[in-house]
């Protein structure tokens, strides 16, 4: 969205996909057992989020039109309350909110991101800064890679630290951490292609105002 609004950003690195940590869930005692069952149902989702992307892509793959559901655009906190009370029939959400719901409600996962999409989270830099200081950016990314390697080898410590800072219950944060993938990746053509698919999907939904070319905003990391 930042690129479409003219923000001076550059994609400098990618974090791994959160494919197992994002899902469309329903209550285990609900009557929606498949994506097709969501026709006519109310689905909670954060507007313009990665979960929104998952919802649209998953429905499309299942042959369900977005206009065949009633989207309820909710923050994670509001979505959690609506899911717990039965105010929504399904919820598209990511960790740690997904993990909290799983530990509290044992919901049915209709689909996870890994089943539908290959998406990443990104580190973004100011276009002018990364162009003028490529060595600094590269050093920061190398440090983040070292931190990611440490986190991968010390998951209990990561879960405990994050739970303490965020207030997420330790059992939920442990679940989220155990299925996370830690790493810092260079931006590859494959990653760009998947991000372009997301941008094109959001354009069709009217969530971004104009077409964008993701490749135009990728930082050309200097090679040693």
Residues 155 and 207 in one domain: yes
Provide φ and ψ at 126, rounded to 5°.
-65, 130
Q: Are residues 109 and 127 in the same domain?
A: no
Amino acid 224: pLDDT: 55
Q: Is residue 174 part of a domain?
A: yes
In this structure, are residues 121 and 18 in contact, taking their beta carbons and an 8 Å threshold?
yes
CB 28 within 8 A of CB 107: yes
Q: Does 86 share its domain with 141?
A: no
Any idea what the CATH number is for the domain that residue 74 is in? 3.40.190.10
Write the pLDDT tens digit of every residue in 18-60.
Answer: 789 999 999 999 999 999 999 999 999 999 999 999 999 999 9
- Tell how strand 121-126 and strand 70-73 pair up: unpaired
Question: For residue 139, is it within any domain?
Answer: yes
The reported pLDDT for the residue numbered 132 is: 95
Mean pLDDT of 172-195: 95
Tell whether 199 is covered by a domain: yes
Supply the pTM of this predicted model: 0.90
Q: For 81-140, how does the pLDDT look when each residue is reduced to its tens digit (9 = 90+)? A: 999 999 999 999 999 999 999 999 999 999 999 999 988 999 999 999 999 999 999 999
pLDDT score, position 114: 93
């Amino acid at each position: 969205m930042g690129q479409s609004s003219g923000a001076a950003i550059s994609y400098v690195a990618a974090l791994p996909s959160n494919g197992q940590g994002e899902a469309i869930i329903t209550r285990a005692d609900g009557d929606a057992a498949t994506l097709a069952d969501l026709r006519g149902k109310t689905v909670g989702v954060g507007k313009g989020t990665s979960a929104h992307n998952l919802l649209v892509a998953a429905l499309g793959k299942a042959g369900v039109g977005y206009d065949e559901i009633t989207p309820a655009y909710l923050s994670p906190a509001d979505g959690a309350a609506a899911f717990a009370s039965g105010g929504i029939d399904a919820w598209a959400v990511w960790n740690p909110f997904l993990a909290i719901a799983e530990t509290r409600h044992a919901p049915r996962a209709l689909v996870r991101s890994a089943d539908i999409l290959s998406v990443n989270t990104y580190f973004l830099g100011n276009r002018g800064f990364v162009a003028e200081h490529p060595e600094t950016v590269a050093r920061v990314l190398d440090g983040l890679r070292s931190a990611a390697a440490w986190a991968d080898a010390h998951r209990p410590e990561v879960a405990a630290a994050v739970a303490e800072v965020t207030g997420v219950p330790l059992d939920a944060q442990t679940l989220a951490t155990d299925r996370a993938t830690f790493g810092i990746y260079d931006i590859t053509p494959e990653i760009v292609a998947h991000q372009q698919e997301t941008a094109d999907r959001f354009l069709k939904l009217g969530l971004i105002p104009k077409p964008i070319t993701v490749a135009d905003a990728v930082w050309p990391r200097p090679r040693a």
